[in-house]
Amino acid sequence: MTQSQLLENKVAIITGASSGIGETTAIAFAKAGASVVLGARRQEKGEAVAQRIRDNGGRAVFLKTDVTDATQAQALVDLAVSKFGGLDIAFNNAGTDGQSGHIVDIESEAYDTIFDTNVRGVWNALRAQIPALRKRGGGSIINTSSVLGTRGVAGMSTYVASKFAVEGLTKSVSLEVAKDNIRINAVAPGPIITPLLENATGGNTDGFNGIVPQGRPGTTDEVAPSVLFLASDQASYITGHSLTVGGGATAGFVTS
């Protein structure tokens, strides 16, 4: 099977699809043969991604979506069913980093924003997607976690806690639906050059060069193939797993 056939005749949802990892993965899914349903808050950018896919011969539609709203998460699934006949794959990628700093200085509203998007958003999506996947006889869901979903970082406690929660949701719900032939995994990126990272660093990502064992931040093109693999039937016996794409960031410490 060629790369362009990995997701042939599949229907996939991608959230957070207007930029970064979501955009690159949506394009990769379409190139692999999937019909893609894109969701994001930024309508103009999301529509542009869908149009780019169509201009290159792919099948794509966009729906402005805020995953913190369960009704909107359900509407994205309903669009996949009405437009393309069902749902086989979901990449729950929408997320935010929110306010950082010492825990005593973090506003409760910032906590709510991070958890509503990163945790409730995935929870809403799973609840909407699983019934549709059952109707197709199974499928694959991939949630975006982080290398910070496995380790603590001072000054980022709320974000880190939200990604630990995504890891827990992924593992727990994967057990609940395994016998339905539904696989649920996570992809856990390290520092990846995206608009989110560039905004957080003021555009200077060189600080990661000494932190990441491979000596540099990654690119979205280095994450999308891992998501594509987990989405495809090549990963048919993998579920409840978190695949790290972080340049060795979780392996240990570089001392020289």
Q: Which helix (H) or strand (E) holds 177?
A: helix 157-177
Is 159 catalytic? The answer is yes
Query: Could you say which of 115, 123, 159, 208 is catalytic?
Result: 159
Half-sphere exposure of 196 (CA within 13 A, CB side): 21
Q: Are 21 and 240 in contact (CB under 8 A)?
A: no
Q: Which two tokens stand for residue 35?
A: 């019909």
> What is the three-class DSSP state of 197?
helix
Q: Are 147 and 188 in contact (CB under 8 A)?
A: yes
| CA-to-CA dists, residue 40 to 30, 47, 200, angstroms | 17, 9, 20
Q: What's CA 167's distance to the chain center, in Å?
A: 12
Find the helix packing angle between 20-31 and 43-55, rounded to 10°: 20
According to DSSP, the residues that pair with 39 across neighbouring strands are 15, 63
Scan for tokens 């996949």, then name that residue: 80
- Phi then psi dihedrals of residue 98, to 5 deg: 65, -160
- List active site positions: 159
